[in-house]
């Protein structure tokens, strides 16, 4: 059985997995307990995979770098069907959910078996993401040069470009360079995947740059490719131990990776809101049913919004 990204039945199986994770996580929204949010989502997601008609292999799981609950790399899941690789984050933005802030999502990307890069021992990745108009941008160019190229491509002055950067000490140099060039810094603390998706679609952000999670980078790559966006990345070990593990695993952490390197074949990206995020509402109870809102991006047509209702007991 072959994998077809546009198969609606397959997409519905995938949405059911992320929405179950989102509904389970909602119980702990506002609790202040990030591990409880993540743990509930992981358990629900693994249970949902039991009846999903796929033969799934987890290539990129989330949790190891921050010692959170996780779906493990190499884990085999599903009830049988197309052989797929899976990159997953049961909750991207656990702090946001724990503090009842917007921007938290359950997210998963799938592609044919063997199509997703495995960052393995490297937890962090430098990323450059823009709409398709930024196709000439490169991590090998100075950031100021990239900003000038992007401004010309978009037909706007550099001082009108909005550039998203995750607010971490490792990204301070990007913030300083963006401001020195006169562009607008759009800072964010958490929610890497949502901000990356906005950048790929030109949704209020013209460029995302900086070092963030490698798992989120692979997840994002599937969405960027399906959205006809532009992305480059390179693995960015942050400690000596991480660099040593990268060398032992044969991972070239200085090389620029293109979209084709990150995801070799078209895939499907699925996102369900945990708190209000990406234009979607958080799970809620309406007339005795739980209502969830999700986005499916398969690269064939426009992104599809899925609104489902289930009895409260599910």
CA distance 128 to 77: 32
3-state secondary structure of 24: helix
Sign of the alpha-carbon torsion through 63, 67, 69, 70: positive
Q: What is the pLDDT of residues 69-102, one digit of tens each?
A: 567 778 899 999 999 999 999 999 999 999 999 9
Residue 303 has pLDDT above 90, yes or no: no
Residues 27-82: pLDDT tens digits? 999 999 999 999 999 999 999 999 999 999 999 886 555 554 567 778 899 999 99
- The whole-number pLDDT of residue 193 equals 92
Write out the residue limits of the CATH 3.40.190.90 domain(s) in the chain. Answer: 124-262
Q: Is the CATH code 3.40.640.10 the one for domain 124-262?
A: no
- Provide the whole-model pTM: 0.90
Residue among 27, 84, 28, 32 nearest 53 (CA)? 84
In the chain, list all ranges with CATH 3.30.540.10. 8-113+267-311
**Residues sharing a CB contact under 8 Å with residue 104, sequence separation 6 or more, in sequence order:** 25, 29, 37, 91, 92, 93, 94, 96, 97, 190, 191, 273, 274, 275, 277
CA angle (213, 12, 119) in 5-degree steps: 20
8-113+267-311: in CATH 3.30.540.10: yes
């Amino acid at each position: 059985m072959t994998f077809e990204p546009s198969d609606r039945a397959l997409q519905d199986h995938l949405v059911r997995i992320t929405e179950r994770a989102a509904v389970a996580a909602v119980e702990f929204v506002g609790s202040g307990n990030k591990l409880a949010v993540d743990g509930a989502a992981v358990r629900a997601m693994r249970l949902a995979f039991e009846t999903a008609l796929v033969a799934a292999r987890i290539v990129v799981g989330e949790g190891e770098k921050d010692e959170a609950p996780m779906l493990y790399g190499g884990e085999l899941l599903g009830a049988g069907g197309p052989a797929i690789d899976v990159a997953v984050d049961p909750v991207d933005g656990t702090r946001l959910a724990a503090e009842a802030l917007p921007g938290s999502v359950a997210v998963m990307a799938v592609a044919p078996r063997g199509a997703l890069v495995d960052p393995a021992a490297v937890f962090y990745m430098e990323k450059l993401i823009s709409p398709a108009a930024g196709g000439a941008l490169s991590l090998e160019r100075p950031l100021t040069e990239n900003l000038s190229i992007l401004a010309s491509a978009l037909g706007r002055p550099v001082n009108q470009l909005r550039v998203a950067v995750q607010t971490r000490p490792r990204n301070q140099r990007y913030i300083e360079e963006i401001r020195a060039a006169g562009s607008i810094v759009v800072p964010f603390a958490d929610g890497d995947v949502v901000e990356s998706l906005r950048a790929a679609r030109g949704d209020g952000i013209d460029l995302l740059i900086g070092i963030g999670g490698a798992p989120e980078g692979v997840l994002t790559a599937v969405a960027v490719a399906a959205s006809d966006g532009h992305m480059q990345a390179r693995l960015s070990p942050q400690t000596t131990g991480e660099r040593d593990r990268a060398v032992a695993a044969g991972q070239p952490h200085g090389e620029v990776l293109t979209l084709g390197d990150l995801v070799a074949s078209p895939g499907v990206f699925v996102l369900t809101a945990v708190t209000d995020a990406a234009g979607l509402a958080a799970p809620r109870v309406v007339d005795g049913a739980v209502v969830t809102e999700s986005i499916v991006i398969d690269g064939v047509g426009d992104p599809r919004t899925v609104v489902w209702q289930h009895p409260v007991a599910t």
